[in-house]
Each structure stands twice: as structure tokens, then as C-alpha cells.
């Protein structure tokens, strides 16, 4: 017997929701948490103790998968390292499988939006795994008129980032 813990309380989903899942912290108001708990409809692709993958209901291309940690983290700052690591490990396996699936897949993009300004709309961290092919219409746009910065500018920005890493205790 395994169990779920919900911020909204177990009554939000009923005891049967806990019947086949693992100890995780989920938010009853979050669509992705509800999918993880088996309380919202989704087309599952993969799940283990750490992550769950399911089809995006607004796919960029056929085969577009969302991979989410089995714990409610509204942004990367709240995502425990072990879940983040597993997102990449399993994301890579799903990507490799995508290439063997028979779906049209000449390349793959990983895309993760962290924050509203970055395009995040569901505030439960999720990695998009998107099959790509020539002429699919998807892609990144560079702002127009932005040229490459000088080496001095690059060095100055790199130093700001190194300082921020040191302040967090993540670099010596």
C-alpha cells in the first residue's frame, strides 16, 4: 500500500486515489498534480517514482509529450535536484523512443518555460519533448536587430553569473 499526500487534503480526491501511487506532495488545485494522482484524464506515456509523462493536449507536432516531476514544484527554484536529474534522464529516454516510434521525428526539442515571462502557463514544472521535422512551423525566434556582444560584454555577464552561483554556494 502506498499513499499520496495532498495540500488540499485527501478528501479532495478520495482514498482510492492513493491506492496505487507513491508518497508525494501534490496540490489539489493543480491540473498536473491531478493527472499524477490519476484524478484527471491524460494519455500516459511513462511513469516511475519520480516522474510522469503524458501527451500534451495542445501538441505542437504529433507526439508532443509533457514530462513532469511527481511533486508539486511551481518553478525550477522549488524543484528538488533528484527530480530535476530524473527529468533529463527520462526525457532523454522518451526522446530516443520517439525516434523509434514511427512518428514523424527528424529531430527533437526539449523546452522548459520557467516563469510567466518565459511562456509558462501551468505552474507545475514540466519539460516539453517535441518531435520536429522539416517545415513543421515551430522554432525559436531571435529578437531582430540584436547583434553579437563584445567579448568584454560577455565577460562582464559571465562574472555576474559566477557571482550569483557563489552567493548561492554552488560554486567556489
The residues annotated as belonging to the active site are 126
Four-residue CA torsion sign, 44, 10, 49, 126:
positive
Q: Which residue, judged by CB position, is nearest to Zn ion in the bound state?
A: 30
Name which position in 6, 13, 21, 32 contacts Zn ion (CB under 5 A): 32
Binding of Zn ion at residue 34 (CB under 5 A)? no
DSSP 118-169: GT--SSS--EEEEEE-TT-S----PPTT--PPPHHHHHHHHHHHHHHHHHTT
CB 30 to Zn ion: min, Å? 3
Region from 40-48, 75-83, 116-124, 161-169 binding Zn ion, contact rule CB under 5 A: 116-124
Query: Hey, which residues between 66 and 105 contact Zn ion (CB under 5 A)?
Result: 72
Secondary structure of residue 49 in the 3-state scheme: coil
Q: Which residues bind Zn ion (CB under 5 A)?
A: 27, 30, 32-33, 72, 124
Amino acid at each position: 500500500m502506498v499513499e499520496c499526500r495532498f495540500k488540499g487534503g485527501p478528501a479532495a480526491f478520495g482514498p482510492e486515489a492513493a491506492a496505487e501511487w507513491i508518497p508525494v506532495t501534490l496540490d489539489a488545485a493543480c491540473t498536473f498534480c491531478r493527472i499524477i494522482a490519476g484524478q484527471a484524464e491524460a494519455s500516459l506515456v511513462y511513469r516511475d517514482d519520480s516522474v510522469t509523462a503524458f501527451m500534451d493536449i495542445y501538441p505542437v507536432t504529433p507526439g508532443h509529450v509533457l514530462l513532469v516531476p511527481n511533486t508539486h514544484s511551481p518553478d525550477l527554484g522549488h524543484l528538488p535536484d533528484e527530480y530535476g536529474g530524473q527529468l533529463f534522464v527520462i526525457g532523454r529516454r522518451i526522446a530516443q523512443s520517439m525516434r523509434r516510434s514511427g512518428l514523424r521525428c527528424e529531430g527533437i526539442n526539449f523546452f522548459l518555460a520557467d516563469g510567466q515571462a518565459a511562456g509558462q502557463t501551468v505552474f507545475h514544472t514540466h519539460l516539453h519533448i517535441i518531435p520536429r521535422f522539416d517545415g513543421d512551423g515551430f522554432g525559436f525566434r531571435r529578437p531582430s536587430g540584436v547583434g553579437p556582444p563584445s567579448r568584454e560584454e560577455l565577460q562582464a555577464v559571465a562574472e555576474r553569473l559566477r557571482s550569483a552561483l557563489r552567493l548561492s554556494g554552488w560554486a567556489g
